[in-house]
Amino acid sequence: MKTLQVKLKDHSYPIYIGNGLLSRSELIQPFINSKQVMIVTNETVAPLYLQTLRNTVAAAGVEDSNNKFLVLPDGEQYKNIDVLNRVFDELLKFNFGRQSVLIALGGGVVGDLTGFAAACYQRGIDFIQVPTTLLAQVDSSVGGKTGVNHALGKNMIGAFHQPVAVISDTDTLNTLEDRQLIAGSAEVIKYGLINDKDFYVWLEGNIEKVMSLDKAAMVYVIEQSCLNKANVVQRDEKENNIRAILNLGHTFGHAIETITGYTQWLHGEGVAVGMLMAAEMSRKLGWFAASDVERVKKLLQKAKLPITISNAISSEKIVEVMGVDKKVQDNKIRLVLLKSIGSATITSDFDLKLLYETIEAFQE
Ligand SMILES: NC(=O)c1ccc[n+]([C@@H]2O[C@H](COP(=O)([O-])OP(=O)(O)OC[C@H]3O[C@@H](n4cnc5c(N)ncnc54)[C@H](O)[C@@H]3O)[C@@H](O)[C@H]2O)c1
Ligand SMILES: [Zn+2]
């Protein structure tokens, strides 16, 4: 098992990464000791891992009457205020107090919603992230962004609320669909591109090991990803500046996800083609080598991630939606672009024509 520590001004918390961690009661015990505990999960994850985690919570000394759970419907469309309210209903029904703890067992949807419930309930209670998708283990469970979607925008209602611990059991990835695993690897590649050239080079040589869930490789990949994310979040917890580099590819990707109604593209898939667009745009600006754009394309292809979009998604529509993305400041689209592999920068200083040309180069 690997242990990392996220060190923030007001809170510090451990990330545990390894196999078999779901049943290690000593890891969770310090955070739930004699407290009321509610595990929040969804209908896909519950039959796979809920019982194991409930047993672990019991083994950590939480009595039955304080060992509750809530199973939510599965899907991004349920990451909303109505479903959030169901968590509050349940907590109030069982008289959960300020000393209680929520445990998010699932992917990023469950993690974001549960974290936000913890941020709001009685003005903030503790929560533990037990991420079960690659995306959640390398990205959403770390850093304290929590929230739900609004009909008018993704992740628009939320709060910064850090977990008290993150427990990433790599065994849970064995049941994940390949497409979800692949989508999660886009965020992994992102860390290499924005912050960590050595890691990027390692991924170029070893991405197959990630795809085949090689045990040692998974622990390494999750560890390096969390280290990179923690490194950025520690410098800028509330995204006043540098944290925005974590959004490489996301402004493009969110637009594609939004236009296609969140049904055709997984988040990581949109991010993948978005990162390639950002690389190409950086090349057009003279910042990034053409040979490096090729390298990015090759790695995404090796990971079986998409590198083009349908021409049914118009560039006008993409730019329009990018304009309403929450990374917009002073009415200008701000983009995360690349200076080299391992180094990103944020800019709004570019010609819109370049942006159109970039997007159009990826339509087919
Ligand atoms: N808070 C952040 O910093 C942050 C960062 C990135 C993404 N996000 C959010 O995360 C969400 C996406 O997360 P995701 O990709 O994990 O999606 P998800 O939570 O929808 O999970 C994907 C699918 O896998 C299923 N699943 C989860 N664990 C499984 C397992 N072990 N075995 C089998 N199936 C399993 C889920 O039920 C779901 O159907 C989005 O809402 C996004 O906005 C948040
Ligand atoms: Zn993302």
CATH number at residue 296: 1.20.1090.10
**Among 129, 140, 263, residue to substitute to test ligand 1 (most atoms within 8 Å of Cβ):** 140
Question: Encoding tokens for residue 158?
Answer: 């939320």
Average pLDDT over residues 113-118: 98
Q: Confidence class of residue 135 from pLDDT cuts 50, 70 and 90?
A: very high
pLDDT mean across residues, the chain: 95
Residue nearest to atom 37 of ligand 1 (CA): 44
Instruction: Name which residue leads in pLDDT, 325 or 80.
Output: 80
Same domain, 71 and 123: yes
Mean pLDDT on 247-275: 94
- The answer to whether residues 168 and 189 belong to one domain is no
Instruction: Give the span between the Cα atoms of 96 and 126, in whole angstroms.
Output: 12
Q: What is the pLDDT of residue 325?
A: 58
Lowest mean pLDDT among 74-88, 250-264, 299-313: 250-264
Q: Which of 125, 147, 174 is the last residue of a domain?
A: 174
Closest atom, ligand 1, to C-alpha of 147: 1
Average pLDDT of the residues in 238-257: 93
Which are the contacts of 351, defined by CB distance < 8 A and separation ≥ 6?
none
Q: Is 52 in the pocket of ligand 1 (CB under 6 A)?
A: no
CATH of the domain at 90: 3.40.50.1970
CA of 262 to the centre of ligand 1 (A): 13
CA–centroid distance, 183 to ligand 2, in Å, is 10
Give me the mean pLDDT over the 131-137 stretch: 98
Provide the token pair at 238: 């509330």
Is the CB of residue 44 below 6 angstroms from any atom belonging to ligand 1? yes
Least confident of 71-75, 298-302, 322-326, 348-352: 322-326
Asked if the model's pLDDT at residue 147 lies above 70, the reply is yes
* pLDDT number for residue 324: 65
Asked if residue 270 and residue 231 are part of one domain, the reply reads yes
pLDDT over 70 at 330, yes or no: no
What pLDDT is stored for residue 152 in this prediction? Answer: 79
Give residue 327 CA to ligand 1 midpoint distance, Å. Answer: 22
Q: Out of 8-12, 116-120, 195-199, 203-207, which region has the weakest mean confidence (pLDDT)?
A: 8-12
Q: What is the pLDDT of residue 10?
A: 86
Ligand 2 centre from 271 Cα, in Å? 7
**pLDDT band for position 326 (cuts 50, 70, 90):** low
32 shares its domain with 125? yes
Ligand 1, residues 44, 134, 179, 181: which to mutate, most atoms within 8 A of Cβ?
44
**Helix, strand, coil content of the chain in percent (nearest 5):** 55, 20, 30
Measured from the alpha carbon of residue 247, the closest ligand is: 2
Ligand 1 close to Cβ of residue 133 (< 6 A): yes
Residues pairing with 169 in the sheet:
18
| Tokens encoding 87 | 């968590």
The pLDDT confidence band at residue 213, using thresholds 50, 70 and 90, is: very high
Q: Model confidence over 95-104: pLDDT tens digits?
A: 999 999 999 9
Which stretch of 70-84, 103-117, 149-163, 188-202 has the lowest confidence by average pLDDT? Answer: 149-163
Say what the pTM is: 0.96
Residues 6 or more apart from 186 whose CB is under 8 A from it?
249, 268, 269, 271, 272, 275, 300, 303, 305
Same domain, 155 and 252: no
Q: Are 149 and 156 in contact (CB under 8 A)?
A: yes
Distance, CA 25 to ligand 2 centroid (Å)?
30
Which of the listed residues 174, 198, 220 is the one where a domain comes to its end? 174
Q: Which residue has the CA at smallest separation from atom 34 of ligand 1?
A: 176
As for how many domains the chain has, the answer is 2
Q: Do 244 and 335 have their domain in common?
A: yes
Question: Is there an atom of ligand 1 within 6 Å of 190 CB?
Answer: no
Same domain, 98 and 144: yes
Closest CA relative to residue 52, chosen from 154, 132, 146, 135: 132
> What is the average pLDDT across 291-296?
98
Nearest CA to ligand 1 atom 35: 176
- Which of these three, 139, 159, 174, is where a domain ends? 174
Q: Looking at the structure, tell me whether residues 164 and 182 fall in a common domain.
A: no
161, 188: one domain: no
Burial of 216 (0-12, 13-18, 19+ CB in 10 A): exposed
Residues labelled catalytic:
123, 145, 187, 229, 239, 243, 247, 250, 254, 267
pLDDT mean over 185-190: 98
**Whether residues 161 and 255 fall in one domain:** no
Are 353 and 261 found together in one domain? yes
Question: Quick one: 44 and 153 in the same domain?
Answer: yes
253 lines ligand 1 (CB under 6 A): no
Share of the chain above pLDDT 70, in %: 98
Q: Which domain holds residue 144?
A: 2-174
Q: Is 42 in the pocket of ligand 1 (CB under 6 A)?
A: yes
Distance, CA 250 to ligand 2 centroid (Å)?
6
With a cut of 90, say whether residue 258 has pLDDT above it.
no
Closest CA to 283 of 208, 213, 338, 215: 338
Query: Is 79 near ligand 1, meaning CB less than 6 Å away?
Result: yes
Percentage of the residues of the chain whose pLDDT score is greater than 90: 89
> Is the C-beta atom of 132 inside 6 A of ligand 1?
yes
**Residue 346: what residue type?**
I
